Structure 1
Amino acid sequence: MTVGQRSGPPIPLLGVEEEFLVVDTDRGEVVPEAATVVGRARPALGTRVGGEITKLQVETRTDPCQGVDDLHGQLVEGRAAVQAAALSAGLRVIASGSPVLGRAVPPPITEGPRQDRGTATFRGLHDELAICAVHVHVEQPDRDRAVLIGNHLRQHLPALLALTANSPYWPERDTGYASWRSVTWGRWPVAGPPPFLTSARKYDEHVDMLLDAGALVDQGTIFWDLRLSTNHPTLEVRVADVPLTAAESAALAALVRALVVVAGDAVDGGDEGPELVPELLRLAYWRAARDGMGGHGVDVTTGRLLPAAALAERLVALARPALDEAGDGERVEAWLGWLAADGDGATRQRAAAALRGRLTDVVDEIVAQTAPNVPMSEESTLA
């Protein structure tokens, strides 16, 4: 059940959920064919593939994993299976936090009583739900401990967002942001960072208050960027855009788990985590969404502007003991190296557009990066 040996609690298991958009072959536009892709991928993935709230999205899931090598293998397998399933139906899937081309506003919502309650509750907010994230689950069966670990992780959420920024386009235009997904998501009443809480009881009381206020459909619609999972004994970090590549999702998961381990050690030493200035945290989120890794970010404890790369390096340095203990240090360092050389996902999307000034080239590049081990026919290139 563990990776490595340590004197404290064992290094926890982890798992990942990735969301993808379905696009057509001819134009690269998002299309409501998620059910087709899910149905064709199910023989290969079983319960590890499913739909999402809109008919434009597909989700894959890993099993709980001990090592990140295994996790990465499952991510590659999941991406390959949904891409092959899409190809068999004359479609593609793309790992982008937002659509590049096509009509995505409003997106077609899947049918069902829960979805109907959501539409009645959130109304126009459902119009911009065609967005894709990656969710990292880290094993934390002690809910009180998980809440306190979350207090420590709140300060790191903007840096994690900057590292994974991969949604510069909103249907057919450049927003000027690196993560437009997080901007649209931030409008929801239960999005963004969770409040500072001191126990699972306080967490549950806060959720009950939101339910009573009509801000939730049910406990599963707590959409904070960091939450206690309603279905698993995990702490779930949901702040990131889905990355272009499986390797980046694996590296993110390794870093998140290491931060959880380091924070857990602090909690076990009696530290409940810092109470942050809400305005600084909001500012840091905005700056991370706008600039990604290509500019500056905000130090949430001081309000100072620092290069995003420096904030990322500081984050990795904090996580270093747990990264090295799990054998994940080189993986995460390599990820920072890729970002320094090629830029975040948003930068790479824009670089594809700059070659010939065509957004269809962006979709082609995302398709190629999403599942590079799946061969594409010459006919698959968008005109």
Structure 2
Amino acid sequence: MADHLPPVGVEEEYFLVDASHRAVVAAASRVLPRLKPVVGDLVTGEASQYQVEGKTPPCGTLSELLHRLRRVRRAVAAAAADEGLRPVAAATPVLGMRAPIPLSTDPHYLAQVETFRSLYDTFAFCGLHVHVQVPDRDHAVLVSNHLRPWLPTLVALAANSPFWEERDSGYCSWRTLGAARWPVSGPPPYFSSAAHYDALAASLRVAGATHGERSLYWDVRPCAHLPTVEIRAMDVTTSVEEGAVLAILVRALVVQALERVRRGDPGPAVDDALLRAAYWRCARDGLTGHSLDPRTSRLVPTAHLVRQLLDYARPALAAHGDLRQVATVLRRLVTHGGGAERQRSAHARAGSLLDVVDDLADRTTAGLMPGAARVHRAPARTEPGPELGVLD
């Protein structure tokens, strides 16, 4: 926690797709052994055999985080290529998923099938999880209170899952809707202390709604095995730069929240129903149109919420030299759209989901692999989006 700049780490999940047919392939058990000698435990399995998960060690700066994420993606791409596959950083599979999904052999997931049953049939989602170091669990749950109002905006910024069951779902983040079906998921409750959190977690376990802390799928939670608060609301981003920038933005939100907690502020008690409605609206519309501000109950332009989020995080971003790069990426997302808009733009060019997968695969490893295909650079929207105003 030197100089009040806590380390940040990222977990991001990728689908494995056939390089020829572009469908997801149950190949994690073939790819992971190739990765073990290269990156060790920085790449592991996930719930389905369609996926692998890349991880970074704790990082102090944006440049370090980018370097670590690129190294992991490069290793995954090389191992996948040896099996005739490509990694795709999208939050839902575009082609080829069939229910029930082929589950991994991880005992954690296998032990839960009897309890959660058909919920696991379609549990094939890729997220961007951000860990930020905090002093203890009490700080973690109070930070969670402060982050709750910003979670819908993070959903909108990272929305990257418009396609489900080989058609457009009508949502920008179908992953958000799919994850909401689980008994413990989505925005966390408001907690008064770590003891309050632990008591509720224990009651949920007695009810059979969880199998321990790893299956508390709230979008902010104290990590069970690390001294961090974990933020899980965002879809995985196809752009490695956008993922790293959003992680640094989340760290700034945590730093600002920690300062308020130190001053005795337990966080705003945002209504649960309003927060879930705000989630739904941001998952549906992404960065376009209007969203519900859960603090005021008003419908406002989503760009307005992004601007407010940036203003909230500004002191921490400016103090550590991250403001300009974060603001530049947020302006680009608001103006040209994010992952969902890019996927739909790729589909609109010829009406082919094959093009969507190709574009996603190209962007996932853009600039990382020698001889990689050139990424399409057409903007997702032609009309200008709302401006973020003065950035610094």
Larger CA deviation: 247-256 vs 140-149: 140-149
Deviation of the 1:377 alpha carbon: 6.3
Question: In terms of mean alpha carbon deviation, does 369-378 or 67-76 score higher?
Answer: 369-378
Q: Which among 218, 223, 229 is matched to residue 235 of structure 1?
A: 229
CA contact (8 A) 2:362 2:372 kept: no
Q: Partners in 2 of 1:245 and 1:112 — Cα distance?
A: 29
| 1:30 and 1:104 in contact (8 A); partners too | no
Alpha-carbon distance between aligned partners in 2 of 1:217 and 1:370, rounded to the nearest angstrom:
33
8 A contact 2:189–2:272 mirrored in 1: no
Which of 172, 176, 182 in structure 2 is aligned with 1:182? 176
CA deviation digits over 1:132-191, x for unaligned, max 9?
001000001321111111101011100000000000001211001000001000010110
Of the three residues 227, 236, 239, the one matched with 1:245 is 239
Correspondence for 2:49: 55
Partner in structure 2 of residue 296 of structure 1? 290
1:310 is paired with a residue whose SS is helix
Q: 2:369 aligns with which of 371, 374, 381?
A: 374
Decide whether aligned partners of structure 1 residues 162 and 377 sit closer, same or farther in structure 2, where only a CA change above 3 A counts.
closer
Shift of 1:112: 4.7
| Alignment map for 1:305-324 (pairs within 5 Å) | 305-324=299-318
Query: 1:110 offset after TM fit, Å?
Result: 1.3
Partner of 2:201: 207
Matching residue's letter, 1:67 = T
Would you say 1:163 and 2:157 are equivalent positions? yes
> In 2, Cα distance between the equivalents of 1:78 and 1:309?
32
- The 1-side partners of 2:246 and 2:29 are apart by 28
2-side partners of 1:225 and 1:356: how far apart?
Answer: 36
Q: Which residue of 1 aligns with 2:275?
A: 281
- Per the TM alignment, residue 376 of structure 1 is displaced from its structure 2 partner at its CA by 5.2
Which residue is equivalent to 1:18?
12
Q: Distance in 2 between matches of 1:103 and 1:151?
A: 36
Partners of 2:15 and 2:51 within 8 A in 1: yes
Moved more, 154-163 or 273-282: 273-282
Deviation at 1:199, TM superposition (A): 1.0
Match in the other structure for 2:330: 336
Measured against aligned partners, the alpha-carbon deviations of 1:300-330 in whole angstroms (never above 9, x if no partner) come to 0122111111111110011000011121111
Counterpart in 2 of 1:354?
348
Query: Which has the larger displacement, 363-372 or 325-334?
Result: 325-334
Aligned residues: 373
Instruction: Write the distance in 2 (CA, Å) between the matches of 1:340 and 1:205.
Output: 40
1:363 corresponds in structure 2 to 357
Deviation for aligned residue 1:256: 0.5
TM-score by length of 1: 0.95
Q: Which residue of 2 aligns with 1:381?
A: none
Cα distance, 1:343 vs structure 2: 0.8
Residue of structure 2 equivalent to 1:35? 29
C-alpha displacement of 1:111: 2.3
**What TM-score, normalized by structure 2, do the two folds share?**
0.93
What CA distance in whole angstroms lies between the structure 1 residues aligned with 2:331 and 2:39?
32
Q: Does 1:198 align with 2:177?
A: no
Q: 4+ runs of 1 displaced by more than 6 Å?
A: none
**Counterparts of 1:45 and 1:168 in 2: how far apart (Å)?**
31
**More moved, 254-263 vs 114-123:** 114-123
What letter corresponds to residue 313 of structure 1 in structure 2?
Answer: R
Tell me the distance in 2 between the aligned counterparts of 1:179 and 1:112.
27
Moved more, 329-338 or 185-194: 329-338
The letter of the residue matching 1:173 is R
Partner of 1:144: 138
CA drift of 1:342 comes to: 2.6
Per-residue CA deviations over 1:246-298 (Å, capped at 9, x if unaligned) read: 10111111110101111111111111011111111111000010001122111
Counterparts of 2:30 and 2:193 in 1: how far apart (Å)?
Answer: 43
Unaligned runs of 5+ in 1: 379-383
Structure 2 CA distance for aligned equivalents of residues 103 and 71 of structure 1 = 31
Q: Which residue is 1:65 aligned to?
A: 59
| Consecutive unaligned residues in structure 2, runs of 5 or more | 374-392
Matched with 1:124 is 118
In structure 2, C-alpha distance between the alignment counterparts of 1:62 and 1:261, rounded to whole Å? 20
Deviation per CA, 1:51-107, whole angstroms, max 9, x where unpaired? 001101100000001111101110111111101111111001100000000023221
Per-residue deviation, residues 9-50 of structure 1 (Å, max 9, x unmatched): x21111000000011111110110012222222222111011
Give the letter aligned to residue 182 of structure 1.
T
Output the CA distance in 2 between the equivalents of 1:83 and 1:92: 6
Aligned match of 2:251:
257
**RMSD over aligned Cα, in angstroms?**
1.4
Q: Which residue in the other structure is 2:99 paired with?
A: 105
Q: Which residue in the other structure is 2:376 paired with?
A: none
